[in-house]
Amino acid sequence: MKTLKKIALALCIAASLGAVSTSVMAEGDAGRITYAPADAIDMVAVKVGDALNALEQGADDAAVDSLMKGALDAGKEINANDKVFAARDKVNTKLKKARAELKAGNRQEAEQLLRDSQKGYLALKSLI
């Protein structure tokens, strides 16, 4: 009887863990759009390109900064594997440095960092 109770308890614990497991619940929310990794990379590269074009055309710093912030936020949608994640973090660092340079008033340095980050995002496709 003791063995039967232990088996029943173990089965109940295993069933409860499986019922509330995060991997079981890991699906897209009804209102959330999920992107394929290649589509997300393209989307972020386009947003960085928009920020670069705005910077080249002489837009004010606040507008360019908001475009860069949008690119950083969209970069969170890129999830393929660990290699892509690590490379994405390196590219995000360049984009954050571009924002810092823009806030410091170094528009040319920010422009170069934006170009580098756009190339970096496009290079992520080779890691998928």
123: CATH: 1.20.120
Please indicate, yes or no, if residue 19 is contained in any of the structural domains.
no
Q: How many domains does the chain have?
A: 1
Range of the domain at 97: 33-127
Please indicate, yes or no, if residue 60 is contained in any of the structural domains.
yes
Please indicate, yes or no, if residue 57 is contained in any of the structural domains.
yes
pLDDT confidence of residue 9: 85
pLDDT in tens, the chain (128 residues): 888 888 988 888 877 776 665 555 555 555 666 778 888 889 999 999 999 999 889 888 899 999 999 999 888 888 878 888 889 999 999 999 999 999 998 989 999 999 999 999 899 888 88
Please indicate, yes or no, if residue 88 is contained in any of the structural domains.
yes
The amino acid present at 48, given as its one-letter code, is V
Please indicate, yes or no, if residue 94 is contained in any of the structural domains.
yes
Please indicate, yes or no, if residue 101 is contained in any of the structural domains.
yes
Distance (Å, whole) CA 68 – CA 50 = 9
